[in-house]
Structure 1
Amino acid sequence: MQTNLSEAAKRLARAEEAESILRSCVHCGFCTATCPTYQLLGDELDGPRGRIYLIKQVLEGAPVTTSTQLHLDRCLSCRNCETTCPSGVKYHDLLDIGRAVVEQQVPRPLGQRLLRQALRAVVPRPALFKALSFTGQALRPLLPALLKSKLPAQVAAPGQRPAPRHARRVLLLEGCVQPALSPNTNAAAARLLDRLGISVEPIREAGCCGAVDYHLNAQAQGLQRARRNIDAWWPAIEAGAEAIVQTASGCGAFVRDYAHLLEKDTQYAAKAARVSALSRDLVEVLREEPVEQLGLCAEQRVAFHCPCTLQHALKLSGAVESLLTRLGFTLTAVPDGHLCCGSAGTYSLTQPELSRQLRDNRLDALESGMPSIIVTANIGCQTHLDGAGRTPVRHWIEVVDAALNPEYNQA
């Protein structure tokens, strides 16, 4: 795609990257066929190709309007288009650049500003989020339907978490909302890793991965959270930790991107590259281990919802399904498994109508095989799908942990 960046755009820190991405697009339109918002709205500007044109116009100096902002806001950042694209266009990077420029030029209405500030103030702070979630549960009957759907009807107790005892050690990103909404997820992961001879070393100083701030266009703050995590993890990395494990694929996708996002930071570039290289989704660790020896009693019919971050960002499509099959679970067929459920981080709160449509379509597909339970690999997808009050939705590691042979548990 021919480009002619404005003088102002040429001064952007990522100007060369933006121009390179724009030039790699051959406007073939293959991306529109797999774009969830284009499928719902049928508007070219609500598909990747249209949004690329909008960003191109912005970077070439065209006037920026609220309409431009709306079409960029409606993007889920699911990266389905990147999986489809034959030219390897790095759409999500271009979107980040374009959204940041538009954010500076188009003032948001007061309601939007307050919502985004509230999300950034609460979500990345686990203790605050947990306290507010507990309060929300107590006041559940009084909450608006949208907020009520974000709180699980029941929160499973985490159970025992093994103390570190093995020579093999990994770090575990605890996450922001997962400790409150699904505390058993990380505990189940720690128990299963322990049974395989891998200890989870707690790093309390590590916090939010930075994705919430970054994707709400507070990019500098998001990168600062990334730096703090790198500092928190670094002593354990130098001491031989073999991986930084995430049970939420959304966090994993962002940590994997630290190397790219901090590549021009002279103080952190090398460390960020090392952290990204050590980053592993939980399934990447477990699929290399002799999980069959665990002796599971897996008799459930399970539908797996593959989060966009797992299949399109981390390129792990089929990995969890393969592992569950090895463990003896019966997986039901799921039509259109490449499509987004509509959670997309904070999208379900900033774009609730589109998000609900996508959720209901995904649940129809997931339930078509009559599973007893739906499992997924990302806390956002889990709470979003489960909030519909239909088939129960859990993290896949909890279902695996629950299916462990009782005799093995007592051993």
Structure 2
Amino acid sequence: MRTHLSPSALRLPDAAEAERILRSCVHCGFCNATCPTYQQLGNELDGPRGRIYLIKTFLEEDKAGPATRAHLDRCLSCRNCETTCPSGVDYHRLLDIGREALDQQQSRPIKQRALRLGLRTLVPRAWLFTPLATGATRMRRWLPAALADHLPRRIAASGHWPAPRHPRRMLALSGCVQPGLSPNTNAAAARLLDRLDISLEPAAGCCGAIDFHLDAQRQGLDRARRNIDAWWPAIERGVEAILVSASGCGAFVKEYGKLLARDPDYADKALRVSQLARDPVEVFGDAPLERLGQPHSPPRLAVHSPCTLTHAQRLGGALDALLKRLGFELSPVADGHLCCGSAGSYSITQPALSKRLRDERMRALEQGAPALIVTANIGCQTHLDSAGRTPVRHWLEVVDEAFAIPAPPQTPSPHSLSPTQGETHAH
């Protein structure tokens, strides 16, 4: 499409990139066919083509009303449209540029600002979030439904994490909410990789996505820089990958290279980190899985492949293929490409629409009567499980349990044997 950016828009750091993306769109509308919010609301401005038009109008005319922000806020950033688009429009990047430019021109209502600041203050700090989440989960029956809905039904304690002992080593991004809501996920990955002669070592916390997507892009990039600094010594020592078991975090870490490309101090390092970032399905997909043996009574599973895995990381179908290779039976899931409504903080900032999307996804996931639903992202896991129906877990934990080595039977001490177990007493 033709563009005529305003003088103020042309002064934006990302003006050239925004103009390139806008011009790549041909208005075909294929994106609307797979957009969850367009399907729910039926409004052209709540689909990618309409939002592109709103951003274009804003960058050309330098003005936007409250409706523009509302339509942009309702976008899940699921990137389904990017998978569908025949022209390769980099929609999510244009959305980031448009949102940041809009934030610079007009402030949000005070309630929205307070909510977003509260989330940015609490969520990225695992040392604060974890004890609060643990305490709230124990007291969930007394909490308001709006809060209880965002807590898991159960928090599995972290199991044994093997000590580093192999020449092959990887880092594991700890994340911010995962240590509090699913602390066993990375430990399960460490146990499985240890059996494949790979040592997994914990790394720094929040990836920066929470800040970046809640009106604080500069702060999000600062977190990315701190992570790079923290990981760099291990990278120089030769770790072969940065394992990110939350696909939402993984999608963002894989973008470090693009987001910091103009930073002379971090561009090369950021690109290297993005190249090393890998989702567990990639690591285990390349591994000799026969060394794990045979699964013990594997449950029938339904797979929810997160948008950040399917569309952002372009690994659609990889989790299904891996689980089949491991010997699991998978139940069919209709429209597996669609979003569950979690989308980071979306379930909090857009609760009604998020819940509608969750319930539709649960109906599709439960159609084949699975024993468990598995996913690859802590946000999707918690959000789907909040429906209180079929249990939802991270696939790494389920695989770890199915392939766990049974503990050898313990031989009782002679001193503990009863007369019927040991030597018969003489009368």
TM > 0.5 fold call = yes
Separation in 2, partners of 1:287, 1:408: 27
Gap regions ≥5 residues in structure 2:
410-427
Q: Which runs of 4+ in 1 moved over 3 A?
A: 405-410
Task: Specify whether residues 87 and 409 from structure 1 end up closer, same or farther in structure 2 by C-alpha distance, changes over 3 A only.
Answer: farther
| TM-score, length basis structure 1 | 0.97
| TM-score, length basis structure 2 | 0.94
User: Identity of paired residues, percent?
Assistant: 66
Question: Which stretch shifts more, 55-64 or 279-288?
Answer: 55-64
Task: Specify whether residues 233 and 264 from structure 1 end up closer, same or farther in structure 2 by C-alpha distance, changes over 3 A only.
Answer: same
Equivalent residue for 1:189?
189
Equivalent residue for 1:330?
329
Equivalent residue for 1:386?
385
Separation in 2, partners of 1:396, 1:319: 12
Measured after TM superposition, the shift of residue 131 of structure 1 is: 1.7
State which of 255, 258, 267 in structure 2 corresponds to 1:257: 255
1:270 aligned onto 2:280: no
Equivalent residue for 1:129?
129
Report the residue type matching 2:317 in the other structure: G
Separation in 1, partners of 2:162, 2:353: 41
Alpha-carbon displacement from aligned partner over 1:146-173 (angstroms, at most 9, x marks no partner): 2101111211111100010000000000
Equivalent residue for 1:50?
50
1:101 aligned onto 2:101: yes
Measured after TM superposition, the shift of residue 408 of structure 1 is: 8.2
Separation in 2, partners of 1:141, 1:329: 35
Alpha-carbon displacement from aligned partner over 1:351-409 (angstroms, at most 9, x marks no partner): 00000000000000000011000000000000000011000000000000010153488
Equivalent residue for 2:405?
406
Separation in 1, partners of 2:255, 2:271: 9
Alpha-carbon displacement from aligned partner over 1:186-241 (angstroms, at most 9, x marks no partner): 100010011100001233xx221000000112000000000000000001101100
The 5 Å alignment of 1:116-155 reads 116-155=116-155
State which of 213, 222, 233 in structure 2 corresponds to 1:224: 222
1:308 aligned onto 2:325: no
Alpha-carbon displacement from aligned partner over 1:32-54 (angstroms, at most 9, x marks no partner): 00000000000000000000000
Equivalent residue for 2:352?
353
Separation in 1, partners of 2:126, 2:339: 26
| Secondary structure class of the residue paired with 1:263 | coil
| Secondary structure class of the residue paired with 2:61 | coil
Measured after TM superposition, the shift of residue 63 of structure 1 is: 2.0
State which of 190, 212, 215 in structure 2 corresponds to 1:214: 212
Report the residue type matching 1:318 in the other structure: G
Equivalent residue for 2:319?
320
Which is greater in Rg?
2
Equivalent residue for 1:19?
19
Measured after TM superposition, the shift of residue 278 of structure 1 is: 0.5
Equivalent residue for 2:425?
none
Report the residue type matching 1:246 in the other structure: V
Separation in 1, partners of 2:36, 2:106: 25
Report the residue type matching 2:46 in the other structure: D
Equivalent residue for 1:368?
367
Alpha-carbon displacement from aligned partner over 1:123-166 (angstroms, at most 9, x marks no partner): 00001001211231243223221210111121111110001000
Instruction: Report if the CA contact (8 A) 1:150-1:384 is conserved.
Output: yes
Measured after TM superposition, the shift of residue 109 of structure 1 is: 1.6
Equivalent residue for 2:243?
245
Report the residue type matching 1:380 in the other structure: G
Gap regions ≥5 residues in structure 1:
none
Measured after TM superposition, the shift of residue 293 of structure 1 is: 2.1
Alpha-carbon displacement from aligned partner over 1:69-95 (angstroms, at most 9, x marks no partner): 000000000000000000000000000
Separation in 2, partners of 1:299, 1:165: 29
Equivalent residue for 1:163?
163
Instruction: Report if the CA contact (8 A) 1:302-1:371 is conserved.
Output: yes
Instruction: Report if the CA contact (8 A) 1:249-1:377 is conserved.
Output: yes
Instruction: Report if the CA contact (8 A) 2:196-2:291 is conserved.
Output: no
Report the residue type matching 2:342 in the other structure: S
Task: Specify whether residues 409 and 249 from structure 1 end up closer, same or farther in structure 2 by C-alpha distance, changes over 3 A only.
Answer: farther
Instruction: Report if the CA contact (8 A) 2:341-2:353 is conserved.
Output: yes
Alpha-carbon displacement from aligned partner over 1:8-60 (angstroms, at most 9, x marks no partner): 00000000000000000000000000000000000000000000000001100
Instruction: Report if the CA contact (8 A) 2:172-2:242 is conserved.
Output: yes
Instruction: Report if the CA contact (8 A) 2:153-2:385 is conserved.
Output: no
Task: Specify whether residues 405 and 265 from structure 1 end up closer, same or farther in structure 2 by C-alpha distance, changes over 3 A only.
Answer: closer
Equivalent residue for 1:291?
289
Equivalent residue for 2:417?
none
Separation in 2, partners of 1:409, 1:43: 61
Separation in 1, partners of 2:396, 2:119: 27
TM-align CA RMSD: 1.2
Separation in 2, partners of 1:133, 1:251: 19
Separation in 1, partners of 2:146, 2:396: 27
Instruction: Report if the CA contact (8 A) 1:173-1:244 is conserved.
Output: yes
Equivalent residue for 1:235?
233
Instruction: Report if the CA contact (8 A) 2:8-2:62 is conserved.
Output: no
